[in-house]
Amino acid sequence: MNSFVFANPTRLYYGKGQIEQHLSTEVKRHGSKVLLVYGGGSIKRFGLYEKVVHALSEAGIPVFELAGVEPNPRITTVHAGVALCKEHGIDLVLAVGGGSVLDAAKAIAAGACYDGDVWDFYATRRRPEAAIALGTILTHAATGSEMNSGGVITNWETQEKLSSSSPFTFPRFSFCDPENTYSVGREQTVYGIVDMFSHVLEGYFSQTSGTPLQERLCEAVMQTIVEWADVVLEHPDDYAAREAIMYCGTMALNGMITMGMQGDWATHGIEHEVSAYYDIPHGGGLAILFPHWMDAVIDAGPARFAQLAERVFHIAPDGKTERQLGEEGIAAVRAFLARIGAPDRLDHYQIDAQHFADMARHVTRGGPIGKFKPLDAEAVLAILHASL
């Protein structure tokens, strides 16, 4: 494995009843003025908003609000949050929602300590040197943003969706109560499942050698996702199912399972390009693109594909070449995505080839993307066309 440094400072409160018991104490520990950040109103519909407001009133500290964070959060909304923080001397951002709300809150927390435009952290190599404290209450199992330092923001004017991460933007605390995900609709639940599965794949498709435990950990998370996806979709208010899926989402992208392993991440880069032009759900884009990325790179390491087939999808290897088994693994991924009802063509979102060349050029502007098999603009273009 590669040499690595690992630190993850997020204090996790997992399970039911934690908000009532610990939120007010955590808030007081980290702040004296809070900016409550949330999305389009789901938290009001299923009753979480009142619960949070109650805990904040117990903490007895002033609360300001930023509502309306969009899925694929916009830099304009982040700017509004930064302005509120600066105007009112906010020292804790509390994000209540899915990955979009959490990512917007990370940007706001960093932007509040920066004199320039917070977009610099996404569009340039500049990284935050400070951030105000961030706490989160997760309502959608998908991104892992509750326990990582990354965030993705969209600039609609420049048609860019870009990511940033910094040791300063780890949440100080995150509350993950599976009951808060009961109200996530079927389609969104599918997108979350695809996203977390893709996060594991991005790490798993690695050329780093000497990572036997990391591979097993990845396989365990993928197997658990595959097993529990059907249960959660059939029984959306089954606590055990929501809990299993929520924990998979956290583990898929908190850095724990892939320490010392160089992941690929090309598919995420390509998906962000598509989202930047068409505002599609991240998980939907990944479901379409990932199998085509797999088709395009299998020759760079058929053994890992064969291992996926055998260990995650229990496909018998007998008499097959590594390549044949690997292809069956890709077919198994496709079958899993189809079974849960994920989209499989860009056409599903009425996307045509109009902007493909720009997307391919933009995503490779710093050179070929992906570490499993580096892809140039032409290779990215081929994946986009195959996904139509």
Decide which of ligand NZQ, Zn ion, none touches 373; Cβ closer than 5 to 8 Å per partner kind: none
285 binds, among ligand NZQ, Zn ion, none (CB under 5 to 8 A by kind): none
Interface segment toward Zn ion; rule CB under 5 A; list 183-191, 192-200, 293-301, 324-332 = 192-200
Measured CA distances, 303 to 135, 205, 316, 323 (Å)? 41, 10, 14, 7
Residues that bind ligand NZQ (CB under 6 A): 39-43, 46, 71-72, 97-101, 103, 139-140, 142-145, 148, 150-152, 180-181, 183-184, 188, 191-192, 195, 253, 268, 282-283
Ramachandran angles phi, psi of 295, nearest 5°: -55, -40
From the CB of 375, what's the least distance to Zn ion, in Å?
18
State which amino acid sits at residue 247. Y
Provide, rounded to whole angstroms, the least separation between the CB of residue 330 and Zn ion. Answer: 19
Tokens of 307: 């291992």
Closest CA to 175 of 38, 25, 34, 18: 18
CA distances from 317 to 31, 242, 307, 329 (A): 56, 33, 9, 11
Nearer to ligand NZQ by C-beta: 132 or 280? 280
Specify the residue, 173 or 191, whose C-beta has the smaller distance to ligand NZQ.
Answer: 191
Cα 318 to its chain centre, rounded Å, is 36
* C-beta separation of 119 from 85 below 8 A: no
CB of residue 56 to Zn ion, shortest distance in Å = 30
Shortest distance (Å) from residue 275 CB to ligand NZQ: 6
Which residues between 94 and 113 bind Zn ion (CB under 5 A)?
none
Residues 94, 27 contacting (CB under 8 angstroms): yes
Nearer to Zn ion, 315 or 337 (CB): 337
Binding mask 222-261 for Zn ion (x = CB under 5 A): ----------------------------------------
d(CA 86, CA 101): 19
Residue closer to ligand NZQ (CB basis): 323 or 349: 349
Task: List Cα–Cα distances, 55 to 19, 63, 314, in angstroms.
Answer: 8, 11, 47
**Least Å from the CB of residue 219 to ligand NZQ:** 20
Reference 78, options 52, 114, 29; nearest CA is: 114
- Distance, in Å, from the CA atom of 130 to the CA atom of 93, rounded to the nearest integer, reads 14
Total residues belonging to the chain: 388
Give the x/- contact pattern for Zn ion in 139-178, rule: CB under 5 A. Answer: ----------------------------------------
- Least Å distance, CB 282 to Zn ion, is 5
Q: Compute the least distance from the CB of residue 99 to Zn ion, in Å.
A: 8
The nearer residue to Zn ion, 92 or 138, going by C-beta atoms, is 138
Does residue 195 bind Zn ion (CB under 5 A)? yes
What type of residue is 9? P
Nearer to ligand NZQ, 6 or 87 (CB): 6
Min dist CB 186 to ligand NZQ, Å, is 11
103 contacts which partner out of ligand NZQ, Zn ion, none, CB within 5 to 8 A by kind? ligand NZQ
- Kindly indicate which of the ranges 127-135, 187-195, 230-238, 256-264 contains the residues binding Zn ion, using the contact rule CB under 5 A: 187-195
Torsion of CA 367, 370, 372, 376, to 10 degrees: -50
First to last CA, the chain: 37
What is the Cα–Cα distance from 278 to 272, expressed in whole angstroms? 10
73: left (phi over 0), alpha (psi -120 to 50) or beta: beta
Question: In terms of CB distance, is 91 or 187 closer to ligand NZQ?
Answer: 187
Assess contact for 254 and 265: CB atoms under 8 A: no
Q: What is the largest CA-CA distance in the chain?
A: 68
* Residue 99 interacts with which of ligand NZQ, Zn ion, none, CB < 5 to 8 Å by class: ligand NZQ
> Taking CB within 5 to 8 Å according to partner kind, which of Zn ion, ligand NZQ, none is near residue 152?
ligand NZQ
CB of 97 to ligand NZQ, least distance (A): 5
Residues contributing to the site for Zn ion (CB under 5 A):
195
